[in-house]
Amino acid sequence: MSSLLKNIIRFILFILLQVFILNEVPPLHQFIVPYVYFLFILWLPFTINRVLLMVIAFAFGLSLDFFTGTLGLHAAPCVLIAFIRPALLGLILPQETIEQSYSEPGIKSMGWAPYLLYIGLLTFVHHVYLVFIEWMQFGDILYFLGKVTGTTAISLLLILLAELLFHRKSKYRTNAA
Amino acid sequence: MKNIFLFIRRYFTFLSFLLLQIAAIILLSSSSPSHEAFFAAATSEMVGKIDERYSKLRNYFNLAETNRQLVEENNRLKNMLAANFQAPDSSRINFTDTIHRDTLGRFRKFTWLPARVIGNTVTLQTNFLTLERGSLQGVKKGMAVISPQGIVGVVVETSDNISKVMSLLHRNSRVSAMLKKDNNAGTIEWDGSDPAYLTLRNISKSAKIAKGDSVVTSTYSANFPSSLMVGTVADIIADPSSNFYTLKVKTATNFFSIQYVYLVENSRYNEQVALENNASRNP
């Protein structure tokens, strides 16, 4: 399957998953909201133009916003992590080897520790920004800190579960491909 | 001029990042309070269609609960029928004055419309419901939305066939409510923590309140008819620094399983709101 087609299917699936399953889950606590939709952006291929990456992230966040009725609330953090992503990848990866041999970020292509760092940092940044925007409209500092911690923890848990349950075939890029 | 182009080319990535961020923030700030502008009718219709498909599937799981709610409501309404109230024997002629139709429209203030819920969230800080009934079917902005068990919210947006309702579970939702016992009025809000509990503010400390008291919509509201169930008092918090109680109210409506609602139109809504908002005439 081509990378484009795969990512289009992922786009739709992640939106549907977030809107119709995760947003419907009865809340355990006000701080714990299961977000995993932004994993779509983290899984996009290495070799993608930075500006294109941000435009995709914006469109992705906005299409989620259409469902939740809060225009721009999810689009802004998505654009932010899309902006940080290439720089972070450049920092934690040995440049030549991996980006050229694997197509997208994953446990296999990056190794456990760098991948966890990558996922963890971007998840944290995403939630800090998302909750910060919410917090600007209402709320107090305790709400901000609690919700960032709660949502980050539950997101990381869900992402790790997804990684363990769904084995992504990380394509090894050869010259022929 | 050349330098500007060089600058733009050099920082193109960062500039486009800023541009997208600003676009997102503008969208958010211009749509936030009850998100009216920018929400183009086209996207509303499209998202509404997807929601509708999904709700058709989900409907089956809630059928039992929906039936129970409707039976309960029917029972309550049947008990209020004029035929149930007949004095035993005091007079020979039994006369009940019930105006069913008001063809001239002089007396009727509220009109009720049924609607199916095709989208609903409870887990966010800003929760909305989507109804399968729009402006072509008589829905207007500001109409009250009521479930068989209690009040639900207010219509904030309509497209041709779909309308969007700001749920009581929205951080910006404000509804005037009163205690059923002694008509002390306050404001119903939501603190964003638990979808089963609302907050009733500005109830005077002179009011005698007990846990379990009913809270109903007040007579002051422009959207809601008075004396509709909101919830029951679950907790009483006396703030020592003010003269008001803050009450925790258990919602009468079960927001997790709303399937059908009623829309209530106040035919004098525009008149009342226009007059109330006309602050400049105050001396």
Instruction: Write down the domain spans for chain B.
Output: 175-253
Name every residue in B having a CB less than 8 A away from some CB of A: 12-14, 16-17, 20-21, 23-29, 31-32, 35, 38-39, 43, 46-47, 50-51, 54, 119, 121-126, 128, 164, 171-172, 192-195, 256
- What per-residue confidence (pLDDT) applies to A95? 62
Out of A26, A69, A83, the one facing B128 most closely (by C-beta) is A69
pLDDT in tens, B137-196: 889 999 999 998 899 999 998 888 899 999 999 888 899 999 999 889 999 999 888 889
The confidence band for B89, taking pLDDT boundaries of 50, 70 and 90, is low
- What per-residue confidence (pLDDT) applies to B236? 92
Mean residue pLDDT of chain A comes to: 84
Please determine, for residue A25, whether its predicted confidence score (pLDDT) is greater than 90.
no
Smallest Cα distance from B93 to chain A, Å: 56
Which of A20, A32, A85, A126 to mutate against chain B (most B CBs within 10 Å)?
A: A20
pLDDT > 70: percent of chain A = 88
Residue B49: how many CA atoms within 13 Å on its side-chain side?
6
pLDDT in tens, A79-93: 999 999 988 988 887
- What per-residue confidence (pLDDT) applies to A155? 92
Q: Are B179 and B203 in contact (CB under 8 A)?
A: yes
Structure tokens at A13: 């699936």
Q: Answer whether A138 touches B (CB < 8 Å).
A: yes
More confident residue, A106 or A158: A158
The confidence band for A177, taking pLDDT boundaries of 50, 70 and 90, is very low
Mean pLDDT, range B42-70, rounded to an integer: 80
Spatial neighbors of A42 by CB under 8 A, at least 6 apart, are A81, A85, A105, A118, A119, A122
The confidence band for B80, taking pLDDT boundaries of 50, 70 and 90, is confident
Inter-chain CB proximity A79 and B21 less than 8 Å: yes
Longest CA–CA separation in chain A, Å: 56
- What per-residue confidence (pLDDT) applies to B103? 63
Q: Answer whether A63 touches B (CB < 8 Å).
A: no
pLDDT in tens, B246-279: 999 999 999 988 888 999 988 888 888 888 887 6
Most confident of A84-88, A94-98, B62-66: A84-88
Query: Residue B256: its chain A contacts at CB < 8 A?
Result: 26
Inter-chain CB proximity B35 and A33 less than 8 Å: no
Where along chain A do its domains lie?
Answer: 3-18+30-165
- What per-residue confidence (pLDDT) applies to B249? 94
- What per-residue confidence (pLDDT) applies to B197? 92
Please determine, for residue B216, whether its predicted confidence score (pLDDT) is greater than 90.
yes
ipTM over 0.90: no
Q: Answer whether A28 touches B (CB < 8 Å).
A: no
C-alpha closest to that of A80 among A33, A18, A130 = A130
- What per-residue confidence (pLDDT) applies to B66? 85
More confident residue, A167 or B20: B20
Smallest Cα distance from B115 to chain A, Å: 20
- What per-residue confidence (pLDDT) applies to B151? 93
Which of A70, A135, A143 to mutate against chain B (most B CBs within 10 Å)?
A: A70
- What per-residue confidence (pLDDT) applies to B192? 83
Q: Which CATH architecture has domain B175-253?
A: Beta Barrel (2.40)
Residue B59: how many CA atoms within 13 Å on its side-chain side?
12
Inter-chain CB proximity B123 and A75 less than 8 Å: no
C-alpha closest to that of A123 among A71, A87, A169, A158 = A158
Please determine, for residue B37, whether its predicted confidence score (pLDDT) is greater than 50.
no
